[in-house]
Chain A
Amino acid sequence: MSEFVTQATAFKPRSAVTQLQTFREQALNQWLDSHLPNRKTEAWRYLSLRALTGDNYFRTPAETPLEDKRALLTLSNIPGLDCYTVVMFNGSFEPALSSLPDSASGLQVSAFSDLSADVLSPYLNSAFNHQAHPFSHLNACHFADGLFVKAAKNAVIDKPLHLVNLVSKQPEKFNVSPRVLVIAQSGSQVSVIEHYISDEAEQSCFVNGISEYCVEEGAQANLYRLDMLQESAIQISGVHAALAKNASLNSFFLSLGSRLQRCDISVNFRGAGAQANLQGVYLPRNDQQVDYHTCIEHCVPHCTSNEVFRGIVSDNAKAVFNGRIHIHRDAQKTLAQLSNKNLLTSNKAEVDTKPELEIYADDVQCAHGATVAQLDETALHYLTTRGVSREEATVMLSFGFINELIEKIQLAEIGSYLRPVLAKRFASKHDLARHLL
């Protein structure tokens, strides 16, 4: 066993969740039975785990005084957004910093530790094929607590839920394993913003999260997943959704890039007439690696999936995008679309993009496309003929490339919040982004 596996296996975080013994034991066994991915593992071949396995992250973070946490919370503020807020700080639920919905809202937000195993067990690992995700076993062994979110039957939740996962720098490396369970009961509508953010560029955490969305019949879940941990954080996550009959999922994924970032997304259609929209933007720079593996399981007929991801890869950074669409034999009348466009702003930047289609039904429509390109010279030239400097034109064009997706974000406050964050990403000097702010 590698040292990493030994450390991971031995790690027993302080946890308030005592009622999930069986679940944890199973997870431990599954972890021990699975193999740590390496370059020979197909789904992981383009990603180097060395940053993770070369260090010991399996420690519980030190305590942070409440005032410090409160101060850091301003980092996650989304101006003008009227929302419920749940704060997880270094993986622990912070009721004092949260503003939870009341029972009249139809939205339940509870810590796993306050719920019985009977409530949790039917949902845990239910939304996805967890066997295929070794790090999900580790998450199941390690989450200190979890967050259970349930929109009651037919409830249209009045405000989005802002789920803040704040990570702070610590003197020693440490692990945080967030676990989120969102259930949209039949006919309900709920929006969740999963916001991962950290305080300083120099980070010492390994975040290994799993979020599951169970979208029941006719329900609608909107997910905004913002991965904004800074430079040297390591983040491996799974976001998995199961959609029942006529359910819908609208989702937006952002990765600002960090030292090692892997996100597995799966959408599992379990009832006819369901639909899923996935949009994503990733922006690794410097020596960062971002790896999105998405998987749409069309198991049943008459479902629609539409997936659009765009990436801008700069400096020495590397991005991987693997978009799998699996249309099972019974999934007639499936409509599946996938587009992945990449922009390379340096000749050392690298992208591996691969659509992966497996189609066993004959009456389906499936379209896919992937491109990797540099900035369009004709467009750059046009901008400069109006007096804009080449530098600023480059920033405008890069931003424009992803702005097409940002403009489509339904919650206007999130779009306005992200705009300046993203515009500044492309500008080495502040004033190059000033016309985009």
Chain B
Amino acid sequence: MLSIKNLHVKMANKHILQGLDLNVQPGEVHAIMGPNGSGKSTTGHVLAGREGYEVSSGEVSFKGKDLLQLDTEERAREGLFLAFQYPVEIPGVSNVEFMKAAVDAVRAHRDQPALDSMSFLKKAREYCTAVNLDQNFLKRGVNEGFSGGEKKRNEIMQMMLLEPSLCILDETDSGLDIDALQIVAEGVNRLRSPDRSFVVITHYQRLLNFIEPDVVHVLCGGKIVKSGDKSLALELEERGYAWLEDEVA
């Protein structure tokens, strides 16, 4: 599904990713944890195609394609989805029109028949309900005035509509209340399938009780310093990150 080899990324002359390796097979769930500023969001943004990052070396292949050669929208159409840590507010552009445009673009690319407005709306409403967002959020401006938790749930609603094959969730659990966390986790679990993979970036082991990862990685100083099974998350919860930094050094 996704293979990152020795990725080095600079931003404003600062080395952020320094030799990142990551292999995600279809159907797997990988969790990435790590201290603030270690490069987790950067990884998500580089994969999603945000401008301003300089990839100085390394390779990324996504479903056999050279990901870094694709435009942002092509990556999305190929099935890559990033749920933002900080979703963007876009007043004046309605959520539902935006998502209809997105779904149309994605389906056209995948040679799926276009959805008519009615069936699209039906789905959109259903997924709103699934993440416990009122339906009037569809009519509102994209994330405009949404609370922190509502923005995160809106990201998941979008993810459900777009049916991606690789979902990168960047701290989707931060800012969610306890019930919302469970709702979002259920949404994610509903999407789990043998040909869909997840990369879940989080600071909290708790999320991983709901979304069980196959592999847990620790990203530190721009590379993966340790990988293990879900028990690694429990260990981190107990011991923090300092011992890993020592171990690496």
- What is the interface of chain A, defined by CB distance below 8 A to chain B? 377-379, 381-390, 392, 396-397, 399-404, 407, 435-436
Report A-chain residues with C-beta under 8 Å of the C-beta of B76: 384-387
The complex places the Cα of A399 from the Cα of B87 at a distance, in Å, of: 20
Q: Are A436 and B97 in contact (CB under 8 A)?
A: yes
Whether A386 pairs with B98 at a CB distance below 8 angstroms is yes
Contacts of B201 in A (CB 8 A): none
How far does the alpha carbon of A45 sit from the alpha carbon of B99 in the complex, in Å?
A: 45
**16 pairs, CB–CB < 8 Å, chain A vs chain B:** A381-B51, A381-B88, A382-B84, A382-B87, A384-B49, A384-B76, A385-B73, A386-B102, A386-B106, A387-B77, A387-B103, A387-B105, A387-B109, A399-B93, A401-B92, A404-B92
CB contacts (< 8 Å) of B99 on chain A: these are 386
Q: Is B82 positioned at the interface, with any CB of A under 8 Å from its CB?
A: yes
List the B side residues contacting A384 at CB < 8 Å.
49, 71-73, 76
CA distance A397 to B94 in the complex (A): 10
Answer whether residue B104 sits at the interface, using C-beta atoms and an 8 A cutoff: yes
Give the most central of B88, B92, B98: most A CB within 10 Å: B92
Do residues A382 and B105 form an inter-chain contact, with CB atoms below 8 A?
Answer: no
Are A378 and B88 in contact, CB atoms less than 8 angstroms apart?
Answer: yes
Closest-CB distance, A154 to chain B (whole angstroms): 37
How many A-B contacts at CB < 8 Å in the complex?
Answer: 87
Q: Which residues of B contact A386 (CB under 8 A)?
A: 76, 98-99, 102, 106, 158, 162
Q: How far is the CA of A192 from the CA of B78 in the complex (A)?
A: 51
Q: B141 → chain A, closest Cβ, in Å?
A: 7
Q: Are B92 and A390 in contact (CB under 8 A)?
A: no
Contacts known (A382-B87, A385-B76); A377 close to B51, Cβ less than 8 A: yes
The reply to whether A389 and B73 contact each other, CB–CB distance below 8 Å, is yes
| Alpha-carbon gap, A14 to B48, bound state (A) | 67
Q: How far is the CA of A435 from the CA of B95 in the complex (A)?
A: 11
A402 to B97, CA, bound (A): 16
On chain B, which size bracket covers the interface?
Answer: 20 to 34
Q: Which residue of A lies closest to B107 (CB)?
A: A387
CA distance in complex: A382, B84 (Å): 9
Residues of A contacting B97 in the complex (Cβ-Cβ under 8 angstroms): 396, 435-436
| Closest B residue, CB atoms, query A402 | B92
Give the 10 A-B residue pairs with the shortest CB-CB distance, closest first. Answer: A400-B92, A400-B93, A387-B76, A386-B102, A382-B88, A435-B101, A403-B92, A384-B72, A387-B106, A404-B92
Query: B192 to chain A: which residues have CB within 8 Å?
Result: none
Is B90 interfacial (CB-CB < 8 Å)? yes
**Interface of A: prevailing SS:** helix
CB-based contact B90/A383 at 8 Å: yes
- Give the residues in chain B near A400, CB-CB below 8 Å: 90-93, 141
With contacts A435-B104, A436-B97 known, is A381 near B72, CB below 8 A? Answer: yes
A403 touches B82 (CB 8 A): no
Which residues of A lie under 8 Å from residue B103 when comparing CB positions? 387
B105 touches A399 (CB 8 A): no
A385-B76, A390-B72 known, 12 other contacts, Cβ within 8 Å: A378-B88, A383-B93, A384-B49, A385-B73, A387-B76, A387-B77, A387-B103, A389-B73, A400-B90, A404-B92, A404-B141, A435-B104
Query: By the criterion CB–CB under 8 Å, are B91 and A404 in contact?
Result: yes
Closest-by-CB residue of A relative to B79 is A387
CA distance A387 to B98 in the complex (A): 10
A387 and B90: CB pair below 8 A?
no
CB distance from B61 to the nearest CB of A (A): 19
| Interface presence of B65 (CB below 8 A) | no
- Cβ of B226 < 8 Å from any Cβ of A? no
**When chains A and B are docked, how far (Å) is the Cα of A377 from the Cα of B105?**
20
A124–chain B nearest beta-carbon distance, Å: 40
Decide if B100 is an interface residue (CB 8 Å cutoff).
yes
B90 touching A435 by the CB < 8 A rule? no
Q: Does B50 count as interface, using CB distance less than 8 angstroms?
A: yes
A401 to B76, CA, bound (A): 25
How far in angstroms is the closest Cβ of chain B from A312?
12
**Contact yes or no, B90 A382, CB < 8 A:** yes
- Neighbour of A383 across the interface among B75, B84, B98, B104, CB < 8 A: B98
B91→A389 contact, CB < 8 A: no
Partner of A387, one of B84, B88, B102: B102
Find chain B residues with CB under 8 A from A382 CB.
84, 87-88, 90, 142
Give the complex CA separation of A378 and B71 in angstroms: 15
In the complex, chain B residues whose CB is within 8 Å of the CB of A377: 51
Q: Which residues of B contact A388 (CB under 8 A)?
A: 73, 98, 101-102, 105
Chain B residues in 8 Å Cβ range of A401: 92
Q: How far is the CA of A379 from the CA of B93 in the complex (A)?
A: 10
CA distance A436 to B97 in the complex (A): 7
Contacts of A435 in B (CB 8 A): 97-98, 100-101, 104
In the bound complex, do residue A397 and residue B90 qualify as a contact, i.e. CB atoms below 8 Å apart? yes
Q: CA–CA, A399 to B98, complex, Å? A: 12
Residues of B within 8 A of A385 (CB): 48-49, 72-73, 75-76, 81-82, 84
Cα A435 to Cα B97 in complex, Å, equals 6
Q: Quick one: which of B73, B91, B104, B141 has the most chain A CB within 10 A? A: B73
